[in-house]
């Protein structure tokens, strides 16, 4: 597991910093240890911070007024994130930030980073490149939600989780609420499709594990696109 100093040396966004600047960032950082499900920041907050995930994962979860949740993205160790208010005063956070499991994060307020941004154009350039990558990732999520039916999105998730293991008991690492958030639907709809897959002989599922019986059919469903 990398220390904060090691992450600052390894990440391209901080590559141009000298030793003194990196040591300053370490001193200015706020480190937090989070437990599974603990919320770091809420959707709608003005959150003017830069975040580095040091260990574990952070889920960005967007909630609708109808009570549905969508897992927008997951930030793994070594990934950076900043709230819109980091650049635009008072701008709202578009999704809540929640710990996926035991997670360590390092946080800097805007005023700590701003002098470096003004002095080091390379940092701004790397942040712009990272923003483009995030926009491309978001475009893929929107495309899947718009054109792929729920059954296809659920099949895609099951294929990813099972990793090709057919007729093998696989521990359930996500709850029903998390499955619903990952495929952009309600808990009830996710449950209905899981039972339908079980009735059709594609899977067996219990509270603690599931077994894939027909990987090929799941892969076919995962490729389905509304035409």
Residue ranges of E strands in 164-212: 170-171, 203-205, 209-212
Determine the Cα–Cα distance for residues 154 and 74; give it in Å rounded to an integer: 17
**Does residue 227 register a pLDDT over 50?**
no
Best-predicted range by mean pLDDT (69-78, 100-109, 199-208)? 100-109
- Predicted confidence at residue 30, as pLDDT, reads 96
Give Cα 52 to chain centroid, integer Å: 13
Number of neighbours of residue 41 by Cβ within 10 angstroms: 20
Span(s) in the chain for CATH 1.10.10.10? 148-222
What CATH number matches the domain at 148-222, 3.40.50.150, 3.30.420.40, 2.30.29.30, 1.10.10.10?
1.10.10.10
% of the chain residues with pLDDT over 90: 52
What stretch(es) of the chain map to CATH 2.60.120.10? 4-146
pLDDT for 225 equals 52
CATH code at 4-146: 2.60.120.10
How far is C-alpha 172 from the chain's CA centre? 19
pTM above 0.75, yes or no: no
- What is the tens place of the pLDDT at every residue in 6-48? 999 999 999 888 999 999 999 999 999 999 999 999 999 999 9
Per the model's pLDDT, the better-predicted residue between 207 and 147 turns out to be: 207
Residue with tokens 């996710």: 190
Tell me the mean pLDDT in the region 99-105: 95
Q: pLDDT tens for residues 136-179?
A: 888 877 777 766 788 898 999 999 888 888 888 888 888 888 89
């Amino acid at each position: 597991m990398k220390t904060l100093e090691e992450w600052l040396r390894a990440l391209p966004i901080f590559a141009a910093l000298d030793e003194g600047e990196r040591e300053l960032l370490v001193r200015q950082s706020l480190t937090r240890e989070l437990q599974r499900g603990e919320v770091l920041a809420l959707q709608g907050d003005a959150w003017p911070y830069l975040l580095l995930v040091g260990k574990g994962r952070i889920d960005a979860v967007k909630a609708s007024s109808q009570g549905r949740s969508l897992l927008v993205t997951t930030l793994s160790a070594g990934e950076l994130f900043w709230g819109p208010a980091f650049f635009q005063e008072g701008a709202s956070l578009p999704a809540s930030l929640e710990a996926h499991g035991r997670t360590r994060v390092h946080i800097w307020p805007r005023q700590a980073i701003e002098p470096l941004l003004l002095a080091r154009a390379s940092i701004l350039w790397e942040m712009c490149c990272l923003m483009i990558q995030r926009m491309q990732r978001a475009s893929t999520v929107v495309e899947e939600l718009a054109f792929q039916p729920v059954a296809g999105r659920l099949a895609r998730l099951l294929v990813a989780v099972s990793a090709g293991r057919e007729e093998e008991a696989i521990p359930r690492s996500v709850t029903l609420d998390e499955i619903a958030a990952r495929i952009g639907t309600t808990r009830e709809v996710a449950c209905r499709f899981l039972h339908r897959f079980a009735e059709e002989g594609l899977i067996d599922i219990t509270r603690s594990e599931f077994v894939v019986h027909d990987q090929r059919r799941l892969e076919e469903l995962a490729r389905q696109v509304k035409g």
